[in-house]
Chain A
């Protein structure tokens, strides 16, 4: 299952970057959000750590919707979804492959979001870069696990983007909250041990939705 998932992820990343596009739409939307929010502060006024972290995760959340809409659109042209379903690969590996590709693309988007938040929102990275990386990875995994499942639900439907938006955002609330609270804690110098509860919430979210996706994906990603 791992090798088929890697084949799917490799193929999706090649398709995403074919024509030199990549996740340009998600990056531009995120940067635009950061810039627009930065205009809401009066000259000389700083955003609080909580506000800056919330805007960072909001950009990532919107990015997830765009990224998974793109990844599942690849399987609509020429009905390659049918060919994949008829192939010997386990259906769950399709979800895992899309989730891995989505995670790579989201991390790439955040490479742009984070410096933008530092410059325009005055985000303070704190003194625990390893903790920040751990937080980003843990929250991103949850966002992408959910994105891979919901993206499959919208596959082949005309109102796919609306469906993604309506379902994804409410479900993301716990993990976004976790991301914001951990981020604020790290910026204020709280040791990782003091953020264990929030990390626990994020990890639990990752595990619950990964389990749900493994079970539900074959039922939502179908050939008809």
Chain B
């Protein structure tokens, strides 16, 4: 294992009750790289992501993260948005939770970056799925994560929102962030990845460079 990795999994296994989800998953993530997690439905991709993020303890194996909690962010199908708060109110809350100390001008700047400046004071409950996901992206940008977990974040996004998301991910990678990314569109996203972790057959089917990974059916 490389000493420069910010996330290392060693022989991680997980069960739901007595049902084995996967076993023997080992991988590592370098700073400034993207690891795509691929596999069929039910292979345990989301569960593995939660284990990596520390949300779910693995039943066996170890997870080592060399990044403090305040430098980690998670973006998934769920937008993590409080619908009764305004877009600005949501960011103000996460700003205080992460102790970032950003002023209103900086928060407006983040909303501007994701194209929501004109909706800053509107209730997030009135937002479309795409707008709510843009707000979720603003929350991630607020954290400036060194380790970022993505669970199919582009689901339901239009082309412009997807382009925005991919642009920000590239910027995060250039800044040195490590990104673990579950994507449902391997054809589109494989080219952006440095490494691929394949799950299947209740275990790890592949871990290596993205160029060497050939998805089933491709």
* A interface, CB within 8 angstroms of B: 3-4, 7-8, 11, 14-15, 18-19, 74, 77-80, 82-89, 223-224
Contacts and interface: CB of A to CB of B under 8 A. Distances in A.
Contact of B98 (A15, A82, A85, A87): A87
B50 A223 contact: yes
A62 to B, nearest CB: 24
Interface string B59-79: 000000000111011101011
B55 A7 contact: no
Contacts of A7: 93, 96-97
Contacts, number: 73
B92 to A, nearest CB: 9
Contacts of B97: 4, 7-8, 84, 87-89
Contact of B55 (A18, A80, A82, A89): A82
Contacts of A89: 97
B42 interface: no
11 contacts: A7-B97, A14-B84, A14-B89, A18-B123, A82-B78, A86-B55, A86-B69, A87-B70, A223-B50, A224-B50, A224-B56
B82 interface: yes
Contacts of B123: 18
Contacts of B96: 3-4, 7
Interface in B70-110: 70, 72-74, 76, 78-85, 89, 93-94, 96-99
Contact of B82 (A4, A78, A87, A88): A78
Contact of A18 (B56, B79, B85): B85
A152 to B, nearest CB: 16
Contact of B54 (A15, A78, A79, A86): A86
Nearest to A90: B69
Given A84-B97, A85-B55, A78 B89 contact: no
Contacts of A18: 84-85, 123
Residue from B53, B132, B139 whose CB has the most chain A CB atoms within 10 Å: B53
B55 to A, nearest CB: 4
Nearest to A79: B78
Contacts of B73: 86
A88 B84 contact: no
A78 B83 contact: yes
A88 B99 contact: yes
A19 B70 CA distance: 32
Contacts of B82: 11, 15, 74, 77-78, 80
B85 A14 contact: yes
Given A79-B78, A87-B69, A15 B55 contact: no
A4 to B, nearest CB: 6
A88 B55 contact: no
Given A3-B96, A223-B56, A79 B85 contact: no
Nearest to B96: A7
Contacts of B79: 78
A86 B139 CA distance: 13
B85 A88 contact: no
